[in-house]
Structure formats: structure tokens, C-alpha cells
Homo-oligomer: A and B are copies of this chain.
Amino acid sequence: MDAFQPLMPLLDKLRRRSTFSAEESDALLAIPHRASAIQPGAYLFRDGDVPQGYGVLLAGSLYRQKFARDGSRQILAVHLAGDLLGLDQGTLAAHDYSLQSLSRADVAFISHQAMLDLVVAFPNIAQALWRETIVDASIGREWFVNIARLSARGRVAHLICELATRQDAAMLDDSTIDWPLTQEQLGDATGLTPVHVNRTLQAMRATGLISSQRHALTILDWAALRDAGDFNPAYLHLPIAIAAR
């Protein structure tokens, strides 16, 4: 079925915050696109490139990043399946961040024109895309405050809470989530060195907050983790049913 409806992850994600008529749903699933498999570590675009179109992440995970002059990397956001890509870059003259794959991923590429045709024909879809972009920016602001205001333990705890909440339905069981990040990448996302990330994770395991395997992470004490990370899911702008946990 998914083979015939490759854009279903997009529709699923949009439905969390918007509702569509049957006609609109059909139009979303029928967006002209070119699906492509992305190798781990490949760039979809780089800081400074000219935007060539939009995308939808069908499977896998990607991250946005910028580099400082000293070569250090800051991860700005993690994209999960269903996320729209590059919408926040519009048709500007140049991208202001890079988009790289974290794992093997499937991406559907959509031309600027195809997207424009869609939103002109369906204002309600335009509104839904606009809403997703706003939420995206909201998540960025939340990350900002975390890095600026929380301790190492708080930053790591917050990111764990966010990814758990965003994966939600896709969770393996009630408390174990996919964990796509290495400790080095977690450091690049939280503004910490890998060494300190390691020590922070050890402390969190020692105090019974989490346990972690290779590519998975188990939340042992959600209340304590949420508390440590000062996590309040309001910034995700999810329906109450999903946000409550």
C-alpha cells in the first residue's frame, strides 16, 4: 500500500495538526515528486547552495547543521519521517544551513513550482504547510533556550524528551525509542564535547533516568527526565491528546 502512496508519511504528520478534505488528502498524496534513497552522511544541500526545491523525508532521519569558523558543528534540528524539508528556505538566493542524512533515508523531492501549484489550488494546504514551518521555528527557539540556559544534564534530558515525544506513535514500546545519534552528534546538538556527553549520560544511567543500547534508548523515569530537562511540550504545538503523556 505504501508503495502506491509514497507520500503517506507526510499526510500522517500533517494530520496531527491539520484536517483535510478527501480532495485535499488526494492532492497531497498526488504531489509530483521524485523519490530517492539517501546514503548515510550524504548532503541534501549545503550552506550557501541555491535552493533547488522542497522535500519530504519518507523514512530515516536527517539533521540541519551550521559550522562555525573554527570547524565546530552545531546541529540545529533533527528531522524525522514525515517532515518537510527546506520549506523554511523558500526560494531565497542561498541556503543558510546544511542538511545532511544521519542514517540511510528516503526522500521525495518536490519542485518549487509543483508546491506553488498545490498551495494556490488548496489554501487549506497552504495553511497546513505554514503551520508546520511555524512549529519548526518554534522547536528551534526551544533548542536555543535549552543550550543557553540549561546544564549539560538538562540539555541532554530535554533532547531525549523531545525525540521521544515527536516519535510517539512510532515508539517501539511505551518507553524505548529509536536513538539515531552518536554521542559525538549528541554533543554537536547540545553544544557539549563528546567527552562530557559521555559523562553526562553515565550520570543519567547511574541515577536511573535512562538506559541505552546501541541504536535505542529506554526511558526509565519519565517524570525525572522531564524535570531534569525542564521539558514542556507546548512548543511542539501538538494536539493535547498527543502532548499528554
Contact = CB atoms under 8 A, between A and B. Distances in A.
B144 A143 contact: yes
A169 B89 CA distance: 26
A44 interface: no
A141 B97 contact: yes
A22 interface: no
A208 interface: no
Given A130-B90, A131-B90, A141 B66 contact: yes
B235 A149 contact: no
Interface string A73-97: 0101000000000001110111011
Interface in A193-245: 230, 234-235, 237
Interface of A: 48, 66, 68-70, 72, 74, 76, 88-90, 92-94, 96-97, 130-131, 133-138, 140-145, 147-150, 191, 230, 234-235, 237
21 contacts: A48-B234, A66-B145, A68-B149, A70-B230, A74-B144, A74-B145, A76-B141, A76-B144, A76-B145, A90-B130, A94-B234, A94-B237, A96-B235, A96-B237, A97-B141, A136-B137, A137-B137, A140-B141, A143-B144, A147-B148, A149-B191
